[in-house]
Structure 1
Amino acid sequence: MGFQINTNLAANNTYRNLNSTQNALGSSLEKLSSGLRINRAADDAAGLAISEGLKSQVGGLTVAARNAQDGVSVVQTAEGGLTETQSILQRMRDLAVQAGNDSNNDASRAAITTEVSSLSDELTRISSSTNFNGINLLDGSAGGGSGKLNFQVGANGDAASQITVDLSGANVKNIANTLASGTTATGGTTFTVDTATLAAGKSTFSSVSGGVTTSVTTGTLTGSAAGGKFASVDEYAAKLTSDSSFNSKYTVSVDKDANGASTGITVTAKDGGVVDTTAPAAAGLGTGSTAAATTGIKFDTAAHAQAAITAIDLQITAVSTARAGIGAVQNRFDHAINVTNVASENLTAAESRITDTDMASEMVKYTRANILSQAGTAMLAQANQSTSGVLSLLRG
């Protein structure tokens, strides 16, 4: 190789290596100072795409866990109101049992009615005052009237990421209206009966109470006459009474004309609902007519007090069912929170493995680059001095 000064190949080569070392040194400094292996897409394009997806899931799960905590708060608030509702209903039942005793005079029963009326007013107040963030929970208005509230407990937009809380059975306002003290019992629905066409078979009755429809279909009812027909209206009414499905929801009585002849039946819903007047699914029953139907319980007679006990028992059962449902969904929320937290922890670990810097490994790279940088700087200085011998030739 000739002795030349215009092109210093050694210096150029040293400079190129030093520039590469400086880039590596800068990259190591950036990773060490940020703690991240991926600071820009150029560091790892595929890793960046995966880590951003994981980051979205972790963020969503964190918020979802808070949503589930809100769900727990909502159901606990609702159950608090239902707990006191049940206590009030138990007190009402005690008063109804007390009123069923004919040792009470009119004044005593009036005092019982006064207390029950006050308790009913408290049920109404509970229904309107039990709310979470301005959402009434126990008056049937939650979820736009459906009684259902949806909680986002997952990070995605699918159905599996939501839990629905059904508060439709926790309508304390409807309970208060149903048990409003001082009104008459709900009127039954009267159906004409034609025994000539009343054949053996099943009968279906339905009623509506508080917007909830209850339908009951009996077992196969068979009369004593030829072909399984019923010999009389009384026999048909007796068969209805003996049917467990019908008897669990309704009572039946036989209507008679002025001569004492049976003309039809009157069906009354035990929950105080209005029985549908449409002819039930039984040949021989005509379209019914409903007596003036009002809700409520009375304590002026022993018979009314006994009816009140039955009506209150139905509401106690309804509240117990609602509380059981709320307790079940609270347990579900607790498990959803645990699952969400575990998933968030695991996804955070996965993101860390992709994006976080291995500080020990990166420090080794930094030390290597730092030493090479110092060595390269020294060698560049030497390379720049390597052509200075030309001056000796020129002076000679």
Structure 2
Amino acid sequence: MSRINTNVQAMLAQRVLAMQNNNLSTSLERLSTGLRINRGKDDPSGLIASENLRAEISGINAAMGNAQRAEQVVNVAEGALQEISNMLVELQGLVGSTANDAGVSKEEKEANQLQIDSILQAIDRIANTTSFQGTKLLNGNYDYQVEGVDTSELNMIQVNSARMSSGNPIAVDVDVQQAASNGTLFLSTATDSLTIELSGNEGVQQFTFAQGSTLADMASAINTFEDALGVTATVDGTQVRIDSVGFGQDAFVNVKTLDGDNVVYDSDGVADTDGMLKEYGGDAQVSINGIQAVTSGLEARVATDGFDISVTLGSINSVDGSSSFSISGGGADFNLSPSVSLAGKVSLAFQNVSSGNLGHTWTSSGELTSLTDLKSGGASNVVNGDLARAQSVVDSAVKEIATMRGRLGAFQKNTIQTAMNSLSIALENTAAAESSIRDTDFAFETAALTRQQILSQAATQALLLAKSQPQSVLALLA
């Protein structure tokens, strides 16, 4: 080499050394941070995919936190409902013991009434104080609001779930294709005396009608045992019509002729042939928003994803009967999805469980009862009220609370737990995908580090040799 102004070999060695040092620096950075991608230039497309996956992981973690919070809310409500259930069982015992009229003094009845008043006050207190982060759960705050309801057309409406979009009301149309019916039999007068055994859903009773008994006398005698039998009688032309109090396939009227002429007919006018005739009622056929409902007597329910509603038919219990209303708001909404959308939202109702909203039953006279009827001075108080009605009210309240607890339990097990399980699996897989793109492979990087260290040292030595080579021209000047 005879030129000294430009040392091409040194420049080449310097470029290679800079490249090796840069690679060595990259390996050291990846090993020290644990990340393969530290900036966009490391892997532009990998960075985009990694950031998207990171956003998904954050959303999944938030959804899992939401599911855990939802379970905590339900646990608070469930604990309160369990205590109310225990008190209702005690209330049932007080009503039952007070019914032993001949063995219970007036003072004991009054003492039992004081306990009942105290229990009802405790139920109201629990309903008004059970809260989560300051928001009351069981006083109707999280119950659904309905508008445009004609209470004569629909006796009762219960919305368990309604997933609403941006607060837009949900229109509900109830259409009846077939009316619910009672079990019905007809009884004619006989020329001689007549003895029958009449039974309904509540019990059985034997009646003997003397020769010449009028239809009104026969109906009146049967109605005396209306509550005990679960049937009611009316004069219908030249016959006594006997109807089950309840509606549906489980409601029935059964008449067995024990003595006298066979004078029992079904609703089609067919007489009994073997001394006994039994007639069942029929369930209604109802559609709600075009979906065929599951029915039991007058009650109809539709339960789909995001829409669970039950109604009890009133005056629209007839062929082609219909009624409409709207769900305007309410409900407890939980977002159990990584994305905030209607599809990821689940809604649940926490009904008002105060004493005035529990124990709803309809009396034969069309009155709607509640636990408040058991308070002092109420129609079903245990001192001088209707104890049979009181027991019916408490039975209904026990079933309502049990149903609510079962619904909350199903929500925890089948919605929250399954969501958490699914989210946990999604988190594992998404985190694994993000890690494979962004994280450092230490086995690969340590091998690359050793290689880069050797190459860097070799390039340094090469640069030293390249820089010393121009000194050989001095030999030409000697």
Query: How far does residue 340 in structure 1 lie from its aligned partner after superposition?
Result: 1.4
Alignment of 1:133 onto 2:133:
yes
* Cα deviations by residue, 1:241-275 (Å, 9 ceiling, x for unpaired): xxxxxxxx6444xxxxxxxxxxxxx53335589xx
Paired position in structure 1 for 2:456: 373
Alignment of 1:122 onto 2:122:
yes
Query: How far does residue 321 in structure 1 lie from its aligned partner after superposition?
Result: 0.7
Alignment of 1:391 onto 2:474:
yes
Paired position in structure 1 for 2:273: none
Query: How far does residue 151 in structure 1 lie from its aligned partner after superposition?
Result: 2.0
For 2:119, the aligned partner's letter is L
Q: 1:325 to 1:154 in 2, by over 3 A?
A: same
Does the CA-based 8 Å contact 2:92-2:394 persist in structure 1? yes
Paired position in structure 2 for 1:67: 66
Paired position in structure 2 for 1:277: none
Does the CA-based 8 Å contact 2:371-2:394 persist in structure 1? no
Q: How do 1:158-173 and structure 2 match up within 5 A?
A: 158-168=341-351, 171-173=352-354
Paired position in structure 2 for 1:325: 407
Does the CA-based 8 Å contact 2:333-2:347 persist in structure 1? yes
Distance (Å, rounded) in 2 between the aligned partners of 1:361 and 1:105: 91
Q: 1:177 to 1:389 in 2, by over 3 A?
A: closer
Paired position in structure 2 for 1:149: 332
Does the CA-based 8 Å contact 1:270-1:310 persist in structure 2? no
Structure with more of its chain in helix, by fraction:
1
For 2:346, the aligned partner's letter is I
Paired position in structure 1 for 2:95: 96
Paired position in structure 2 for 1:288: none
Q: How do 1:10-29 and structure 2 match up within 5 A?
A: 10-29=9-28
RMSD between superposed Cα atoms in Å? 2.4
Distance (Å, rounded) in 1 between the aligned partners of 2:460 and 2:36: 27
SS in 1 for 2:101: coil
Q: 1:272 to 1:92 in 2, by over 3 A?
A: closer
Does the CA-based 8 Å contact 1:140-1:167 persist in structure 2? yes
Q: What's the TM-score once normalised by structure 1's chain length?
A: 0.67
Alignment of 1:8 onto 2:1:
no
SS in 1 for 2:35: coil
For structure 2, which runs of at least 5 residues remain unmatched after alignment? 146-328
Does the CA-based 8 Å contact 1:112-1:299 persist in structure 2? yes
Does the CA-based 8 Å contact 1:178-1:272 persist in structure 2? yes
Q: 1:384 to 1:324 in 2, by over 3 A?
A: same
Q: What's the TM-score once normalised by structure 2's chain length?
A: 0.56
For 2:133, the aligned partner's letter is N
Q: 1:177 to 1:165 in 2, by over 3 A?
A: closer
Identity of aligned residues (%): 33
Paired position in structure 2 for 1:258: none
Q: How do 1:165-204 and structure 2 match up within 5 A?
A: 165-168=348-351, 171-173=352-354, 175-176=355-356
For 1:367, the aligned partner's letter is T
Distance (Å, rounded) in 2 between the aligned partners of 1:40 and 1:374: 27
* Cα deviations by residue, 1:106-153 (Å, 9 ceiling, x for unpaired): 333222211111111111111122222212111112379766222222
Query: How far does residue 295 in structure 1 lie from its aligned partner after superposition?
Result: 7.2
For 2:141, the aligned partner's letter is S
Query: How far does residue 30 in structure 1 lie from its aligned partner after superposition?
Result: 0.9
Q: 1:328 to 1:11 in 2, by over 3 A?
A: same
SS in 1 for 2:380: coil
For 1:308, the aligned partner's letter is A
Distance (Å, rounded) in 2 between the aligned partners of 1:3 and 1:90: 111
- Would you say how many aligned residue pairs link Structure 1 and Structure 2? 289
Query: How far does residue 161 in structure 1 lie from its aligned partner after superposition?
Result: 2.6
For 2:447, the aligned partner's letter is V
For 2:400, the aligned partner's letter is A
SS in 2 for 1:7: coil
Does the CA-based 8 Å contact 1:38-1:355 persist in structure 2? yes
Distance (Å, rounded) in 1 between the aligned partners of 2:400 and 2:330: 15
For 1:370, the aligned partner's letter is Q
Query: How far does residue 154 in structure 1 lie from its aligned partner after superposition?
Result: 2.0
Distance (Å, rounded) in 1 between the aligned partners of 2:20 and 2:139: 73
Distance (Å, rounded) in 2 between the aligned partners of 1:337 and 1:83: 25
Distance (Å, rounded) in 1 between the aligned partners of 2:428 and 2:358: 50
Structure with more of its chain in strand, by fraction:
2
Distance (Å, rounded) in 2 between the aligned partners of 1:144 and 1:320: 20
SS in 2 for 1:172: coil
Distance (Å, rounded) in 2 between the aligned partners of 1:14 and 1:388: 17
Paired position in structure 2 for 1:308: 390
For 1:166, the aligned partner's letter is A
Q: How do 1:226-265 and structure 2 match up within 5 A?
A: 250-252=362-364
For 1:139, the aligned partner's letter is N
For 1:267, the aligned partner's letter is G
For structure 1, which runs of at least 5 residues remain unmatched after alignment? 180-208, 210-248, 253-265, 274-293
Paired position in structure 1 for 2:435: 352
Distance (Å, rounded) in 1 between the aligned partners of 2:462 and 2:388: 108
Does the CA-based 8 Å contact 1:272-1:295 persist in structure 2? no
Does the CA-based 8 Å contact 2:13-2:463 persist in structure 1? yes
Select between 103-112 and 148-157 the one with higher mean Cα deviation: 103-112
Query: How far does residue 162 in structure 1 lie from its aligned partner after superposition?
Result: 2.8
Query: How far does residue 60 in structure 1 lie from its aligned partner after superposition?
Result: 2.0
* Cα deviations by residue, 1:337-358 (Å, 9 ceiling, x for unpaired): 2221221111111111000111
Query: How far does residue 16 in structure 1 lie from its aligned partner after superposition?
Result: 1.4
Distance (Å, rounded) in 1 between the aligned partners of 2:119 and 2:366: 30
Q: 1:295 to 1:384 in 2, by over 3 A?
A: farther
Paired position in structure 2 for 1:334: 417
Distance (Å, rounded) in 2 between the aligned partners of 1:62 and 1:267: 53
Does the CA-based 8 Å contact 2:76-2:131 persist in structure 1? yes
For 2:138, the aligned partner's letter is L
Does the CA-based 8 Å contact 1:177-1:296 persist in structure 2? no
SS in 2 for 1:325: helix
